[in-house]
Structure 1
Amino acid sequence: MNRLWTDLAWEQYLYWQEQDKKTLRKINKLIEDISRNGNQGLGRPEPLKGNLTGLWSREIDKKNRLIYVIEDDTLTIIQCKNHYKDK
């Protein structure tokens, strides 16, 4: 599966590289799981609603969510820091 990052998601990913290796490992594990299992698996996958319909969320930890969408054979990471309600 191909992977794309929004500018925001990439900035957040770089933040985790510098600030918290444990969270970075969890994000990498979730991304790998999404690549293998689609919208099922680790991190309590949840389809988002309202104006975020079509996107999915997975729990990184209590405060942070990985927001993504799968289209064809491409995984696009939308956000990997904070909670979608915190945007």
Structure 2
Amino acid sequence: MPAENEAVVAFSRQAWADYQYWVQNDRKVAERVARIVADCVRQPFAGIGNPEPLKHELAGYWSRRITKEHRFVYKVENGRCIVVQCRYHY
């Protein structure tokens, strides 16, 4: 478990590739993803992007809107935000 006030975020390989895509192709979306990551650390289940729990095979994961088309998908475990996707729809 992270120390108090220690923000811990982990990206899956796919999520990091997604983020790098945004950095190279659409800075505005990359900045939105960065804001969502920061918000996810502060308040994992509330805040920007309309956080909502996913169901069925993705139960335990949460989703936030990046754009109309793209979603930020993550899971919170032991106080850590684990990002699994930040491009496309789940």
TM-score normalised by structure 1 residue count: 0.94
Please list every run of 5 or more consecutive structure 1 residues that lacks an aligned counterpart in the other structure.
Answer: none
Q: 2:58 & 2:88 partners in 1: Cα distance?
A: 15
Residue correspondences, number: 84
Higher helix share: 1
What's the counterpart of residue 22 of structure 2? 16
Coordinate RMSD, CA, aligned: 0.6
Q: Kindly indicate whether residue 67 of structure 2 is the aligned counterpart of residue 81 of structure 1.
A: no
Letter in 2 for 1:61: T
Please list every run of 5 or more consecutive structure 2 residues that lacks an aligned counterpart in the other structure.
Answer: 1-6
What's the counterpart of residue 71 of structure 1? 77
Counterpart pick for 1:6 among 4, 9, 12: 12
What's the counterpart of residue 4 of structure 2? none
> Percent of pairs identical after alignment?
36
Letter in 1 for 2:52: E
Q: 1:29 & 1:23 partners in 2: Cα distance?
A: 10
Q: In structure 1, the residue corresponding to 2:22 is in which secondary structure? A: helix
Greater Rg over alpha carbons, structure: 2
Q: CA deviation at 1:37?
A: 1.1
TM-score normalised by structure 2 residue count: 0.91
Q: Kindly indicate whether residue 52 of structure 2 is the aligned counterpart of residue 46 of structure 1.
A: yes
* Cα deviations by residue, 1:26-50 (Å, 9 ceiling, x for unpaired): 0001111111112111100010000
Structure 1 segments of 4+ aligned residues over 2 angstroms from their partners: none
